[in-house]
Amino acid sequence: MRRAFTVLVMAVFALAVVANAADIRKTSVKTRTALTGGAHNYLKPVHPVAPTRPGVARQALDLVGTAYDAGTSYWDEQHNGTAGKMIAVDEMGYIHMVWTKLMNTDYDNGQRHVYYNIFDPASNAFMFGGGVQVDNAPRRAGYTCTSLLSSGWVVPAFHTIKPDDPESAHTEGAMDLQPGMGIFASTRIPFLYQDGLPIDILWPKVAVGRDSTVHMASSEDPASGRLGDPQRIYYSRGHLTWDNDGYGTGVVWEQVDGLNYFKEIDTVMVIGVDIAASTNSDRVAMAWPKSRTDLSDTATSNQHDNDIYIMISEDGGYNWYPEVNITQFVFADTSCQSGDTAVCDRDTMRVYTDCCALFDCNDRLHVGFTTKYFWTLEGTISRSFSDIWHWGEEHNEISNIVHGEFTLTEEDTIYWMDAGEWQLLAQRPSLSFDTASGYLYCSYMYYDSEQVSLAGFPQGDALVSVSRNGGRTWSQGINVTQTDGGIDTPAGECLSERDITISERVTYINGTGYVHMSYTLDLDAGAGMRDEGGCYLDSMKYQQIPVNDIPALPLNPWWSFNIHADSSQMPGRIIALDPTASNPINCHLAADDPAFSPTSFHLYQNYPNPFNPTTNIQFDLVKSARVTLKVYNVIGQAVATLYDSKMMNAGVQTVAFDASNLASGVYVYRIEVDGIAASHKMVLMK
């Protein structure tokens, strides 16, 4: 992290920290408050009266693309962590949307169901007025997302409460009878029991593979019933089924862990897991925020100190490689003698409770995630600063998508700005991929400090950024909704976009590409179920955004901002990066196609990894050059020489490495080409 930026953040930190103070404006820089566990432990600041801003009408200013109403809901908070995908598009161009619909204003006892609607691109209209119900729960269902087969079969995932266990909510999936028919068969995953009682397993995320396999990731509702306590995450797998007449009959769930239908993956502190499946191969991936604290110690465990972990299966979820930490934040130096907290705290970013995962057309995994600011030694956090990041499997780099901070001036209302529980200034990334151009898109929510409800909560907008080089740099996000909810806006008149997701793929209509977005237009900022805002009938929106209206420049000015104060644990950029160069992911040329010509030198991660006993090492050569490639053990001894100053032609090069004569462990392979060196770690597991 750049020192100047760190010092700036530290200087204003007390103005952003969630503190136990009657007036946050009067909090001194030296005042620190001990961190407590759980998002619900935040103490809300007292909100002074916001300044008025006369003469600004609350309206849509300049919508990018076209928005349509899919339905309505009194339930404004569609997700309280990772949102998954609430929208999907099939190969015929039909748009499929799901959402949680509260039927009345009773948050506690009102009926709540999962709703679905389908948009016909020919008529530019939704087919079902207000949508149709998906679940068959008598009273409650929700927190839904969806995936689909490219042919149009839709697979919503959600959790329900049913009479067979009226005290426990549980994960299930559905499929439609026929594409576009709006009739669903819903199948609950068999319960997992502990001490004779069913475990509440909720908040599912879903992905459908190329062979109709349904992959699902779910989270345990903590046994204590208190958010902020440890909870397990699980993997489930099933298959879509059809009868002899070709009608969908539901998901048949498989046993994935002995006789159990849930495979325990990890224990975490937040509802943040996501899952992705390739449409080209059998690759499946899970990504999740994982606490760095001792979860057995309730005094120190918390929801705020997380890394991002991923886990990949190459065979459709039957076998998984070990989990990998892709952020590896550097721990604070508790024995630091300088007293300079900007140095002693080291990394001051931690992953928040949301992330997303996506495979591109070449089966390379992409992960988006949000970080907040966290000062370990002081035990304090900030929600007035946040960042959204991208990690890509190809380059194994982390790049900044957006940096968010409230403007800090004495006259501003930002001193007391609080977006609410589970909310950050910039948050909820959702990734999409364009197979025609090879570009990546990311949508996210950004709170606007110039739009504040009467209750003192900021209102959000939907922004989209594009990357033309596989996620290595991103454009400065464009506000695609451009609503102005005003200041001191009374309940029922706000215009706040939230719970924004975009479909996995960009599609084309008459030669024009579109990003497909879903969101809630919330009429009272803040979450109603958390007593932060009122309960109003909100619109569930679908927006068609032309990709030509999402500019690639200017670049996000924070593109070169390193996520690490001490980057020793993360690989740096292998070559000098031209931030303005367009180097899209190539979806149409195989690696051995003569037309495929690398534009830069690059050493890839070996595959498979971990391996036993053979693996492949791939690298790109821009021109003919002499190559030295060696393998070293962890103490720096060369254990194998694959190339020793060998002259090789330009192009994509691959060499097989056989480690039959080596012991299990971590090794490093290092390449030297014309004075340029690069290396990666690999794991041999016998």
Are the CB atoms for 66 and 544 separated by under 8 Å? Answer: yes
Question: Alpha-carbon distance 529 to 377, whole Å?
Answer: 34
Residue 141 parent element (H or E): strand 140-148
Question: Alpha-carbon distance 250 to 252, whole Å?
Answer: 7
- CA 555, 560, 561, 563 torsion-angle sign: positive
**Position 340 pLDDT exceeds 80:** no
Q: What is the pLDDT of residues 587-601, one digit of tens each?
A: 754 444 333 456 678
Decide whether 65-549 matches 593-684 in CATH topology: no
Q: Which of 108-117, 138-147, 348-357, 525-534 has the lowest mean pLDDT?
A: 525-534
Which has more confidence, 21 or 186?
186
Query: What does the pLDDT read at residue 262?
Result: 97
Mean pLDDT of the chain: 83
Phi–psi pair at 6, nearest 5 degrees: -60, -45
Q: What is the pLDDT of residues 628-672, one digit of tens each?
A: 999 999 899 999 999 999 998 887 788 989 999 999 999 999 999
Tokens of 444: 């996210």
Q: What is the pLDDT of residues 3-41, one digit of tens each?
A: 333 333 333 333 333 322 222 222 222 222 222 222 322
Work out the number of other CB atoms within 10 angstroms of the CB of residue 673. 21
Ordered by start, the domain boundaries in the chain are 65-549, 593-684
Nearest to 653 by CA among 643, 641, 668, 666: 643
Q: Mean per-residue pLDDT for 322-345?
A: 84
Query: What does the pLDDT read at residue 226?
Result: 56
Core vs surface per residue 533-548: b (16+ CB within 10 A) or e: bbbbebbbbbbbbebe
Q: Which residue has the tokens 């209750």?
A: 455
Question: Alpha-carbon distance 186 to 113, whole Å?
Answer: 13
Specify the CATH number of the domain 593-684: 2.60.40.1930
Residue 353 parent element (H or E): strand 349-359
> Percent of the chain scored above 70 by pLDDT?
84
Are the CB atoms for 43 and 18 separated by under 8 Å? Answer: yes
Query: What does the pLDDT read at residue 60?
Result: 64
Question: Alpha-carbon distance 366 to 550, whole Å?
Answer: 20
Q: Tell me the Ramachandran region of residue 359: left when phi exceeds 0, alpha when psi lies from -120 to 50, beta otherwise.
A: beta
Cite the beta strand spans of 192-341 per DSSP E. 193-194, 197-198, 201-208, 213-220, 231-242, 248-253, 263-268, 274-277, 284-291, 306-313, 324-325
Residue 87: helix, strand or coil by DSSP? strand
Which has more confidence, 572 or 649?
649
Query: What does the pLDDT read at residue 374?
Result: 84
Query: What does the pLDDT read at residue 40?
Result: 28
CATH class of 65-549: mainly beta
Phi–psi pair at 413, nearest 5 degrees: -85, 0
Distance of CA 484 to the CA centre of its chain: 26
Tokens of 303: 């929801």
Q: What is the pLDDT of residues 533-555, one digit of tens each?
A: 888 999 999 999 999 999 998 99
Q: Mean per-residue pLDDT for 411-433?
A: 78
Which has more confidence, 585 or 521?
521
Strand 213-220 to strand 231-242: parallel, antiparallel, or no bridges (unpaired)?
antiparallel
Q: For residue 515, list its beta bridge partners.
A: 545
Question: Alpha-carbon distance 26 to 524, whole Å?
Answer: 28
Q: Which residue has the tokens 């160069």?
A: 581
For residue 229, what is the DSSP state?
Answer: B
Query: What does the pLDDT read at residue 675?
Result: 82
Q: Which of 53-67, 357-371, 396-410 has the lowest mean pLDDT?
A: 53-67
Query: What does the pLDDT read at residue 614?
Result: 87
Residues 6+ apart with CB under 8 A from 457: 418, 419, 420, 525, 526, 532, 533
Question: Alpha-carbon distance 33 to 19, whole Å?
Answer: 6
Query: What does the pLDDT read at residue 301?
Result: 82
Q: Which of 439-448, 568-577, 676-685 has the lowest mean pLDDT?
A: 568-577
Q: Mean per-residue pLDDT for 329-337?
A: 84
Query: What does the pLDDT read at residue 439?
Result: 94
Residues 6+ apart with CB under 8 A from 631: 638, 639, 640, 641, 642, 657, 659, 667, 668, 669, 670
Cite the beta strand spans of 360-495 per DSSP E. 365-375, 380-392, 397-405, 426-433, 440-453, 458-467, 478-479, 483-484, 487-489
Residue 13: helix, strand or coil by DSSP? helix
Query: What does the pLDDT read at residue 307?
Result: 94
Residues 6+ apart with CB under 8 A from 24: 15, 45, 46, 415, 416
Query: What does the pLDDT read at residue 139?
Result: 86
Q: What is the pLDDT of residues 253-281, one digit of tens each?
A: 999 999 999 999 999 999 999 999 998 89
